[in-house]
């Protein structure tokens, strides 16, 4: 019951955020340099042609009327037409979305188990040998640039050893798994140290908590205390961090997708930006903002599921 | 001994226990015993080693500690137990409850499951049956609607209920001994009295032996049959409670007994002189805080601002000492904060010398700030950790332009001397001082502007009893010497009644009773005041032998 109430409350708060997002994405386009009508009409178009195009696209209307139209279209699921591909933006995004989502989920699946294992290893004896090694390797993983690591791995595993394809998305579920392994791995190598830092700190802090002493005083074994008390109490900060990272990956997979030529949203974004494909950029911005909001919502709900105090 | 010597061996024997951390010995040569079914009190100040002793008995010392000597439970040596044996014994044979119940309950698990966990673990009972027992235990420890409470989470419980739940979890497996480490220190007085009664009932009904650790001799005297007095890691005295309190042999025990507010008569508490015009007057004061709104619960229509103070009227005459008593959440601190303009009133007025306090601006406001000063509850948090104490005391003087920085330093030294702090401490930072010393700095800083009115908000509640007695003595001396008007806020009725001329009793933002201190304490009219008075854990009437003895010469410890 408390969960349902929370979900309802959060969804209601969401409407305001979504309205804000739509305003910002709308204004973004209008503040960008360049005139879309001129772009459509071509370099040598006459003033009359440009005016006609302006009228056709509603660009001559006052700003607030344009916004209303934009909002109404948005609600109908119409976020415009790609100037370059001459296809609806929503269709384009749908097409390019799946590789990115697959990659994101893949990264999370690759990153979470080692994060938990390394944090436990580290936190068991803070300052010990294992902790030092984990920290050093972590710093190395953080400092190696993703693009360099990507290129190196695709050369080594892809070209020299021939274990994994170096580009593309593949066909079918196993094909996706196979093709996206290297991109997912190179992102995970950078993500694991970030998450490990956070989880390690929380584990060390919670191991000193009073309720751990109390559990010990009630005869719980160290093993039980760790899995039932310390770990559940420590995951929340890391979960929130993971949420931020996932949102970031959906919008920021540009480098990895470019290096491995994955037909994802990052690739689409680069193409649209270079080709001045305004409505695609606008649509993508909207999608990135929405996905951030949705991921945050999911993380909040998950946090509420773990921690009853968040529900209240 | 007033109990008949029994041939049965003691339940717990502690013999020559020594606990060391690195080179420092926190506990040295401590010996005592607990008979089956008795309540033993261990009293001492913070740092006296009482908690460390009990953690050694529970095997809960941190890995860096070394324990030597002998701890035997029914003849079985505990200090040589392995991890698995400890796990089998803790929670089964010895239960433990702690000072702060809020932080000792796992915030993520339902109360019922936390109570059932030790039962499942130790008695090999199924979850369902264990949950039934947990509900019965909740009922036993006096929690209403136990079935619903078992499904609650710790944050939905009040402090007293949390401690009851802790007790339920500790006694679930029917232990022989319960160690209660300052179980009521974090609770309000009325709640404290109820928890102590619960412990006493459990002791009587189940024959549960209890070790009650406390810094408060009054609490120990209330329910214990014997008492062990500790200081600096050693036992200075032990024996039946009556002997220790009425015929203390060790000077420290005597100091402890005499430091009890109920045992002290403070000089200078006269009958009320009440001149015509009050210095500080509060009329119909209300303060409200907005309740955190949420879209959904607003629809239910129950939300609205929370009234922290609701129509408060009070007057304080120049030179008077007025006490304000009440539980946490009763609005006492809000009143203090509103008087010094930290909160805005939503209704009513506060006047100092007839001038509306919240209408002041500019120079008049600065003058007001000089006239009214405040000392805070937590001595460490209210001092800037990066300033030396001499700087902290000098700051208000030059900031108000009363002197240049150098003269302010000289004044600060004088003030530190006045609050009996040795000169050698003047360049220390707050965290290098004890709590009592820090509170002296707080007093000196408040007095630096030579205020007319001093507001003391729970200034001794974070301190040990002996330190509390010293601070109160100092406060009253300063009040006499400087003709201060004192507003003393406390949850401790005995302190207030011993130093104040008049008291106001606060409950839920209203004044439920006021009048001369002696009268309110001896013949309380309102039911809440009666409950407050009844819940005072004190040593009882002073007997002729222990009149005021001048043991207060080591004041600045």
Structure letter (DSSP) for residue B531: H
Q: Are B500 and B517 in contact (CB under 8 A)?
A: yes
| Pair (A61, A148) in one structural domain | no
In this complex, is the C-beta atom of A84 within 8 Å of any C-beta atom belonging to chain B?
no
Residues A7 and A63 in one domain: yes
Per-residue pLDDT at B292: 56
A35 touches chain B (CB under 8 A): no
Is the pLDDT reported for residue A35 higher than 80?
no
CB B454 within 8 A of CB B446: yes
First to last CA, chain A: 11
Looking at the predicted structure, is the pLDDT value of residue B541 above 70? no
Quick check: A307 contacting B, CB < 8 Å? yes
State the Cα–Cα distance between residues B342 and B480, nearest whole angstrom: 28
Q: Domain count of chain A?
A: 2
Is residue A67 domain-resident?
A: yes
> Same domain for A183 and A230?
yes
Nearest to B153 among A222, A224, A308 (CB): A308
Confidence at residue B519, expressed as pLDDT on a 0 to 100 scale = 85
What is the least distance, in Å, from the CA of A121 to any CA of chain B?
Answer: 19
Contact A309 B155 (CB under 8 A): yes
Q: A104 lies in which domain range?
A: 99-311
B295 contacts A9? CB cut-off 8 A: yes
Note whether residue A84 is domain-resident: no
Tell me which residue in B88, B96, B153 faces A217 most closely, judged by beta carbons.
B96
Are the beta carbons of A213 and B60 separated by less than 8 Å?
yes
Mean pLDDT of chain A: 85
Interchain contact, B91 vs A219, CB within 8 Å: yes
Residue A49 lies in a domain: yes
Q: What residues contact residue A250 under an 8 Å CB cut-off, 6+ apart? A: A100, A101, A104, A265, A288, A291, A292, A295
| CB contact (8 A) between residue A214 and residue B155 | no
Determine whether the interchain pair A213/B98 forms a contact, defined as Cβ–Cβ distance below 8 Å: yes
Residue B115 has what pLDDT?
94
Separation in Å, CA of B130 to nearest CA in chain A: 15
- Residue contacts between A and B (CB atoms, under 8 Å): 83
Contact B219, B200 (CB under 8 A): no
- Name the most confidently modeled range: A124-128, B218-222, B313-317: B313-317
β-pairing, B502-507 vs B321-325, is: parallel
- Give the confidence band of B158 by pLDDT, cuts at 50, 70, 90: confident
Residue that finishes a domain, picked among A75, A91, A114:
A75
pLDDT interval class at B304 (50, 70, 90)? low
**CB-based contact B233:B27 (threshold 8 Å):** yes
pLDDT, position B551: 35
pLDDT tens for B66-84 read 888 889 998 888 888 888 8
pLDDT of residue B117: 93
User: Furthest-apart CA pair in chain B: how many Å?
Assistant: 79
Chain B residues whose beta carbon lies within 8 Å of the beta carbon of residue A213:
60, 98, 104
Same domain? A130 vs A235 = yes
Task: Answer whether B364's CB lies under 8 Å from B355's CB.
Answer: yes
* pLDDT exceeds 60 at position A88: yes
Q: Does the beta-carbon distance from A218 to B103 stay under 8 Å?
A: no
Domain boundary among A75, A108, A140: A75
If asked whether residues A165 and A307 sit together in one domain, one would say yes
**Per residue in A238-281, pLDDT tens?**
999 999 888 888 876 777 888 788 888 888 888 888 887 778 88
Determine the distance in angstroms separating the CA of A220 from the nearest CA of chain B, rounded to an integer: 6
Q: Are residues A17 and A132 in the same domain?
A: no
Cβ neighbourhood burial of B544 (10 Å; 0-12, 13-18, 19+)? exposed
Interface contact A220-B60, CB threshold 8 A: no
Range in A24-38, A51-65, B86-100, B391-405 with the lowest mean pLDDT: A24-38
Scanning the structure block, which residue is given the tokens 């204004």? A27
Residue A160 banded pLDDT, cuts 50, 70, 90: confident
Q: Is residue A135 part of a domain?
A: yes
pLDDT at residue A84, as a whole number: 79
Structure confidence at residue B230 (pLDDT): 92
Interval A148-173 mean pLDDT: 81
Average pLDDT over residues B427-449: 89
Least Cα separation, residue A130 to chain B (angstroms): 19
Is A47 inside any structural domain?
A: yes
- Two structure tokens written together for B504: 């106001």
**Residue B1's pLDDT band (cuts 50, 70, 90):** very low
Overall average pLDDT of the B496-504 stretch: 88
What is the distance between the alpha carbons of residues B507 and B510, in angstroms, rounded to a whole number?
A: 5
Place of tokens 């003691």: B10
A217 in contact with B at a CB cutoff of 8 Å? yes
Q: Which residue in chain A has the smallest CA separation from B115?
A: A218
Q: What's chain A's Rg over C-alpha atoms?
A: 24
- Does residue A63 share a domain with residue A109? no
Contact call for B95 and A211, based on CB within 8 A: no
pLDDT at B540: 56
Tokens coding B338 = 């509103």
B342 φ/ψ angles, rounded to the nearest 5 degrees? -90, -25
Q: What is the CATH number of the domain that holds A159?
A: 1.10.3720.10
Residues A109, A226 within the same domain: yes
- Which of B100, B108, B183 best tests the A interface by mutation, with the highest count of A CBs <10 A? B108
Q: What is the mean pLDDT of residues A150-154?
A: 83
In a domain, A82, yes or no: no
Nearest CA in chain A to B175: A218
Question: Is A209's Cβ below 8 Å from some Cβ in B?
Answer: yes
Domains in chain B and their CATH numbers?
Answer: 14-260 (3.40.50.300), 280-289+306-535 (3.40.50.300)
Percent of chain A clearing pLDDT 70 (strictly above) = 96
Is the same domain home to A130 and A202? Answer: yes
Region B218-224: what's the mean pLDDT?
87
- Please report whether residue A80 resides in a domain: no
Residues in Cβ contact with B261 at an 8 Å cutoff, skipping those fewer than 6 apart: B468, B469, B472, B492, B494, B495, B498, B538
- Tell me the two tokens of residue B530: 């009666």
* Contacts with B, A 220-259, CB within 8 Å: 220-222, 224, 229, 232-233
Tell me whether A3 touches chain B (CB under 8 Å): no
Question: Looking at the domain assignment, is residue A8 inside a domain?
Answer: yes
Q: How many CB atoms lie within 10 A of CB B479?
A: 20
* Helix-helix angle A89-124:A231-252, to 10 degrees: 150
Same domain, A259 and A156: yes
Ramachandran area for residue B142 (φ above 0: left; ψ -120 to 50: alpha; else beta): left
CA A99 – CA B71 distance, rounded (Å)? 66
- One-letter-per-residue 3-state SS of chain A: CHHHHHHHHHHHHHHHHHHHHHHHHHHHHHHCCCCHHHHHHCCCCCHHHHHHHHHHHCCCCCHHHHHHHHHHHHHCCCCCECCCCCCEHHHHHHHHHHHHHHHHHHHHHHHHHHHHHHHHHHHHCCCCHHHHHHHHHHHHHHHCCHHHHHHHHHHHHHHHCCCCCCCCCCCHHHHHHHHHHHHHHHHHHHHHHHHHHHHHHHHHHHHCCHHHHHHHHCCCCHHHHHHHHHHHHHHHHHHHHHHHHHHHHHHHCHHHHHHCCCCCHHHHHHHHHHCCCHHHHHHHHHHHHHHHHHHHHHHHHHHHHHCHHHHC
Contact at CB, A218 and B87, closer than 8 angstroms: no
Mark B147-183 as b/e (b = at least 16 C-beta within 10 Å): eebbebbbebbebbbbbbbbbbbbbbbebbbbbbbbb
Give yes or no: residues A104 and A70 share one domain: no
Show the CA angle centred on residue B329, arms to residues B326 and B330, nearest 5°: 40
Residues of B in contact with A218 (CB under 8 A): 90-91, 95, 117-118, 121, 169-170
Task: Calculate mean pLDDT across residues B31-40.
Answer: 92
Question: Does residue A18 sit in the same domain as residue A151?
Answer: no
Task: Using an 8 Å CB-CB cutoff, list residues of chain B that contact chain A.
Answer: 58, 60, 83-84, 86-92, 95-96, 98, 100, 103-108, 117-118, 121-122, 153, 155-156, 166, 169-170, 294-296
Using CB atoms, which residue from B107, B117, B295 is nearest to A218? B117
Alpha carbons within 13 angstroms on the beta-carbon side of residue A17 total 14
């Amino acid at each position: 019951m408390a969960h349902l109430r929370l979900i309802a409350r959060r969804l209601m708060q969401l409407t305001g955020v979504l309205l804000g997002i739509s305003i910002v994405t709308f204004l973004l386009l209008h503040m960008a340099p360049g005139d879309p009508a001129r772009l459509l009409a071509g370099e040598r178009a006459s003033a009359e042609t440009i005016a006609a195009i302006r009228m056709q696209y509603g660009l001559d209307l006052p700003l607030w009327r344009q916004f209303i139209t934009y909002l109404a279209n948005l609600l109908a699921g119409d976020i415009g037409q790609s100037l370059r591909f001459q296809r609806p933006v929503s269709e384009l995004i749908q097409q390019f979305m799946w590789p990115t989502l697959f990659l994101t989920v893949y990264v999370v699946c690759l990153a979470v188990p080692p994060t938990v294992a390394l944090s436990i290893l580290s936190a068991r004896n803070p300052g010990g040998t294992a902790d030092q090694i984990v920290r050093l390797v972590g710093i190395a993983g953080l400092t190696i640039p993703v693009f360099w690591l990507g290129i190196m791995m695709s050369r080594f595993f892809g070209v020299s050893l021939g274990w994994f394809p170096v580009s593309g998305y593949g066909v079918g579920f196993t094909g996706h798994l196979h093709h996206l392994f290297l991109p997912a791995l190179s992102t995970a190598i950078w993500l694991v140290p970030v998450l490990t830092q956070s989880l390690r700190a929380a584990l060390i802090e919670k191991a000193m908590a009073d309720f751990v002493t109390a559990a010990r005083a009630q005869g719980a074994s160290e093993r039980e205390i760790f899995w039932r008390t310390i770990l559940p109490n420590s995951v929340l900060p890391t979960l929130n961090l993971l949420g931020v990272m996932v949102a970031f990956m959906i919008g920021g997979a540009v480098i990895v997708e470019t290096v491995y030529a994955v037909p994802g949203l990052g690739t689409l974004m680069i193409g649209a930006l270079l080709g001045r494909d305004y409505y695609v950029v606008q649509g993508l911005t909207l999608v990135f903002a929405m996905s951030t909001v949705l991921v945050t919502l999911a993380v909040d709900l998950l946090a509420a599921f773990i921690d009853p105090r968040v529900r209240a | 001994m007033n109990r008949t010597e029994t041939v049965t061996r003691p339940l717990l024997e502690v013999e020559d226990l020594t606990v060391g951390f690195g080179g420092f010995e926190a506990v040295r040569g401590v010996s005592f015993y607990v008979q089956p079914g008795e309540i033993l009190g261990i009293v001492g100040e913070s740092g006296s080693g009482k908690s460390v002793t009990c953690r050694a008995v529970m095997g809960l010392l941190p890995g860096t500690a070394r324990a030597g000597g002998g701890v035997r439970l029914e003849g079985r040596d505990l200090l040589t137990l392995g991890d698995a044996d400890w796990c089998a014994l803790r929670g089964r044979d010895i239960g433990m409850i702690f000072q702060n119940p809020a932080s000792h309950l796992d915030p993520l698990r339902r109360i019922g499951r936390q109570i059932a966990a030790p039962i499942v673990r130790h008695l090999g009972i199924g979850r369902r049956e264990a949950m039934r027992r947990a509900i019965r235990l909740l009922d036993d420890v006096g929690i209403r609607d136990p079935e619903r409470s078992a499904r609650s989470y710790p944050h939905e419980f009040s402090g007293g209920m949390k401690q009851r739940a802790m007790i339920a979890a500790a006694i679930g497996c029917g232990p022989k001994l319960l160690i209660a480490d300052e179980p009521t220190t974090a609770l309000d007085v009325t709640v404290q009295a109820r928890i102590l009664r619960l412990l006493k009932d459990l002791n009587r009904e189940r024959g549960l032996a209890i070790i009650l650790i406390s810094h408060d001799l009054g609490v120990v005297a209330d329910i214990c049959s014997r008492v062990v007095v500790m200081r600096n890691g050693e036992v200075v005295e032990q024996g039946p409670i009556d002997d220790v309190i009425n015929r203390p042999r060790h000077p420290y025990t005597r100091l402890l007994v005499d430091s009890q507010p109920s045992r002290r008569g403070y000089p200078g508490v006269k009958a009320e002189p009440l001149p015509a015009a009050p210095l500080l007057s509060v009329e119909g004061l209300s303060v409200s805080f907005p309740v955190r709104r949420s879209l959904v619960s607003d629809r239910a229509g129950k939300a609205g601002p929370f009234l922290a103070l609701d129509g408060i009227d009070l007057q304080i005459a120049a030179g008077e000492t007025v006490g304000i008593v009440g539980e946490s959440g009763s609005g006492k601190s809000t009143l203090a904060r509103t008087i010094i303009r930290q909160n805005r009133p939503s209704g009513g007025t506060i006047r100092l010398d007839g001038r509306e306090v919240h209408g002041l601006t500019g120079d008049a406001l600065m003058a007001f700030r000089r006239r009214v000063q405040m000392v805070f509850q937590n001595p460490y948090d209210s001092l800037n950790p990066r300033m030396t104490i001499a700087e902290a005391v000098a700051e208000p003087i030059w900031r108000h332009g009363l002197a240049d920085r150098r003269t302010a330093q000289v004044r600060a030294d004088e003030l530190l001397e006045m609050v009996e702090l040795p000169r050698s401490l003047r360049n220390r930072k707050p965290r290098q001082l004890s709590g009592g010393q820090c509170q002296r700095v707080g007093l000196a800083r408040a007095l630096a502007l030579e205020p007319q009115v001093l507001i003391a908000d729970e200034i001794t509640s974070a301190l040990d009893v002996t330190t509390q007695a010293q601070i109160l003595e100092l406060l009253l001396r300063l009040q006499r010497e400087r003709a201060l008007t004192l507003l003393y806020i406390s949850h401790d009725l005995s302190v207030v009644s011993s130093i104040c001329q008049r008291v106001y009793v606060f409950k839920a933002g209203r004044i439920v009773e006021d009048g001369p201190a002696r009268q309110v304490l001896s013949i309380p009219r309102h039911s809440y005041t009666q409950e407050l008075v009844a819940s005072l854990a004190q040593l009882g009437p002073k007997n002729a032998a222990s009149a005021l003895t001048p043991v207060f010469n080591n004041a600045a410890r």
